[in-house]
A and B are shown apart, each in its own frame.
Chain A
Amino acid sequence: GQQVMQIPQYQHVQEGEDFTTYCNSSTTLSNIQWYKQRPGGHPVFLIQLVKSGEVKKQKRLTFQFGEAKKNSSLHITATQTTDVGTYFCLYNFNKFYFGSGTKLNVKP
């Protein structure tokens, strides 16, 4: 079964506030990917993290992979209404598993 917890389940923010979602594993991960699913849409790949301590940025999005490769986070600075959706981490333990997702709602 799944050994990765994703938190929080929901986050409601005012436009301009920051947002962070976390995926925490009890065991070391080989890599982790992040996906975004807009309401009514399908998951779309955002980024992949492979190296210990890796940090990657995409405009207002910052992705981190912990030193022990057990934790990862996605941080959005100054959210916009276009950030609305559910964010998932995806990891691999022989098979692919998605985190339970964090649903982000942004109030204009």
Chain B
Amino acid sequence: EAQVTQNPRYLITVTGKKLTVTCSQNMNHEYMSWYRQDPGLGLRQIYYSMNVEVTDKGDVPEGYKVSRKEKRNFPLILESPSPNQTSLYFCASTPGGSYNEQFFGPGTRLTVL
């Protein structure tokens, strides 16, 4: 089954404790993104990757890192989480370009205390 998976689905952590949210897709898509969703602000792109070893900042990259060592995986790293990073995070993938639909993972709800 074609899908995007994220782990964990839920996470409660404390300020400053490094964490990684994993994202994996089995559709051989080149383009992958991370979004955060906040009430009243909608979905905002954090980082994206157009292919292996190619990543770039989205609209709200501060406080986040990403890597793309393999085509299928695109982890989101929070080196020192802060309470303002409490949010719902979605990973998405698409074959590439702006003319293809994006496939979203189920989401990760992160709370930083």
Contacts and interface: CB of A to CB of B under 8 A. Distances in A.
Given A42-B90, A43-B90, A98 B42 contact: yes
Interface residues on B, range: 20 to 34
A95 B45 contact: yes
Contacts of B65: none
A45 B102 CA distance: 7
B33 to A, nearest CB: 7
B104 A96 contact: no
A42 B44 CA distance: 14
B104 A43 contact: yes
A92 B98 contact: yes
A42 B92 CA distance: 10
A31 B43 contact: no
A43 B105 contact: no
Interface in A84-102: 88, 90, 92, 95-101
A42 B42 contact: no
B74 interface: no
Contacts of B90: 42-43
A46 to B, nearest CB: 9
A42 B101 CA distance: 14
Contacts of B102: 33, 35, 43, 45, 90, 96
17 contacts: A31-B99, A35-B102, A41-B106, A42-B104, A43-B90, A43-B92, A44-B104, A50-B99, A88-B43, A90-B102, A95-B58, A95-B59, A96-B45, A98-B42, A99-B42, A100-B40, A100-B42
Given A31-B98, A43-B43, 16 more contacts: A1-B59, A33-B102, A42-B90, A42-B104, A42-B107, A43-B90, A43-B102, A43-B104, A45-B101, A50-B99, A88-B42, A92-B98, A96-B98, A99-B42, A100-B42, A101-B43
